[in-house]
Structure 1
Amino acid sequence: MVQQNDFQKQNVLTAAAGRRTLTGAAFALALMALFLAGVQNPDPAWGKFWMIRPLLVVTMAGALGGFINYMLLHYHRRLGIHKGIAVVLSALIYVVGLWLGSVLGLVGTLWD
């Protein structure tokens, strides 16, 4: 009976981490899609599918930021960090991750 409870608890934690990761990825994807929608006349040298790279890279950066947010907020006591500091730190990590993902995704196109 104890093993079944541990298994059920593990599924709940995995689902929570997945939701946080998907939320981070969805927010990043929406932000980058909104940014790229403003491009009126892209350079023909960029190719036909130039938007795919920034969308994928920024989405992955957002997913990683969401997962780091989950890890910091779930394990803040084990790490010895106050919850308020963990929230601010995870938000800062998410924003820096989105910025770096945007730079890596847009290099060679809009980021020159």
Structure 2
Amino acid sequence: MTTQNNVTQPNPQVSFIKPVLIGAAIAFLVISFFVFGVDYTDPAWGEYWRIRPLLITPLAGAIGGAFYAFMAYQSARGFNKALTILLSIVVYLIGVWMGVVVGLDGTMWD
């Protein structure tokens, strides 16, 4: 006689905060390279022109990180892991690029 083991394994927990913070930090480093590397600033840009890109771009990076966390969750549920990682990278890069464009609009991106 054999006994059945009815133990179900739970889905692995996918962290949400960690990818969001990493995505925002990478985007902050990217925009810092552009913002703090400026030698000449146009007086028409205003005194606090750096605030907008330093807020918008990390926000876009955080959204890209959240998308990565969502796709990691989908991967844990059975979707193709390579496809979800590739899609996450593409969405993140496009999101950070759009964050840089929107953040620098009217100043360096003119």
Matched, 1:28 2:32: no
**Where do 4+ consecutive residues of structure 1 move more than 2 Å?**
none
Structure 2 match to 1:110: 108
Q: 1:76: how far off?
A: 2.5
C-alpha RMSD of the superposition: 1.9
Identify unmatched segments of 5+ residues in structure 1.
Answer: 1-8
List aligned pairs for 1:55-66, cutoff 5 A.
55-66=54-65
Identify unmatched segments of 5+ residues in structure 2.
Answer: 1-10
TM-score (norm 1): 0.82
C-alpha distance in structure 2 between counterparts of 1:77 and 1:26, whole Å: 25
Structure 2 match to 1:43: 42
The aligned amino acid for 1:18 is: I
Please point out which of 78, 81, 84 is paired with 2:79.
Answer: 81
Matched, 1:54 2:49: no
Cα displacement string for residues 60-91 of structure 1 (whole angstroms, at most 9, x for unaligned residues): 0000000100110121354x631000000000
The structure that is helix-richer by fraction is 1
Q: 1:34: how far off?
A: 1.5
TM-score (norm 2): 0.83
Q: Across the two proteins, how many residue pairs are aligned to each other?
A: 100
C-alpha distance in structure 1 between counterparts of 2:26 and 2:105, whole Å: 21
Between stretches 19-28 and 68-77, larger displacement belongs to 68-77
C-alpha distance in structure 1 between counterparts of 2:105 and 2:53, whole Å: 9
Indicate the percent of aligned positions where both proteins have the same amino acid: 40
